[in-house]
């Protein structure tokens, strides 16, 4: 800020604004002058301009009259900001402009990355739906082959799945024979 800020005096007193802030330090939590939004802007809100805001947060002391000069000073500062007499130095304005351009660029890159991810997800969903429709039109035996093929090559299984209908039938036949043997019913091959 320019020297005007430091020379700012409270009306009806000769105390400078920085001295007021120093006297209120035990109570003062936040003091900022900003034109930044409360939340990170999106691409659609980048072009909108915001007005300057003075943010003052403090703990209320037992004697509220002790911070009254600070509040009067804040109102004098707001009036000064509205009049346009307080400006930044040239080098400070250049730094602020560069930081804002960098942040805007970052926000635009994030938005384009999100769009690309959404487009890729939509493409995957369309492919998945087309494949499901194709499989739905197949006969039941062809559907079974496609599903088994998918399960063998899928990353869902920790190891490749090896199932064939001949192996499944043999296991089932062996189970039946063991059951009959346990129950002394002799050997039977169930069909």
Q: What would the pLDDT profile of 48-105 be if each residue is shown by its tens digit? A: 766 778 888 888 888 877 778 778 778 877 887 777 777 778 888 898 889 888 988 9
Query: What residues are paired with 55 via a beta bridge?
Result: 32
Mean pLDDT value across residues 154-179: 62
What is the Cα–Cα distance from 109 to 40, expressed in whole angstroms? 14
Whole-structure pTM over 0.75, yes or no? no
121 has pLDDT over 90: yes
Q: In Å, what is the CA distance from 50 to each residue of 45, 47, 59, 157?
A: 10, 10, 28, 54
Q: Percent of the chain at pLDDT above 90?
A: 9
Count of CB atoms situated within 10 Å of the CB of 20:
23
The per-residue pLDDT for 144 is 78
CA proximity to 16, closest of 59, 80, 93: 80
């Amino acid at each position: 800020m320019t020297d005007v800020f430091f020379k700012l005096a409270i009306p009806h007193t000769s105390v400078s604004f920085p001295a007021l802030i120093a006297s209120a330090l035990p109570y003062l939590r936040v003091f900022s002058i900003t034109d930044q939004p409360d939340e990170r802007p999106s691409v659609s809100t980048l072009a909108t301009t915001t007005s300057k805001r003075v943010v003052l947060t403090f703990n209320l002391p037992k004697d509220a009259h002790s911070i009254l000069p600070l509040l009067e000073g804040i109102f004098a500062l707001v009036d000064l900001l509205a009049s346009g007499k307080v400006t930044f130095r040239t080098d400070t304005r250049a730094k602020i402009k560069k930081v804002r351009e960098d942040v805007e660029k970052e926000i635009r890159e994030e938005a384009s990355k999100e769009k690309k991810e959404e487009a890729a997800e939509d493409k995957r969903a369309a492919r998945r739906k087309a494949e499901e429709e194709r499989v739905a039109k197949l006969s039941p035996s062809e559907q079974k082959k496609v599903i088994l093929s998918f399960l063998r090559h899928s990353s869902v299984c920790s190891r490749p799945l090896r199932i064939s209908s001949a192996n499944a039938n043999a296991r089932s036949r062996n189970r039946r024979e063991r059951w009959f043997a346990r129950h002394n019913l002799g050997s039977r091959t169930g069909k």
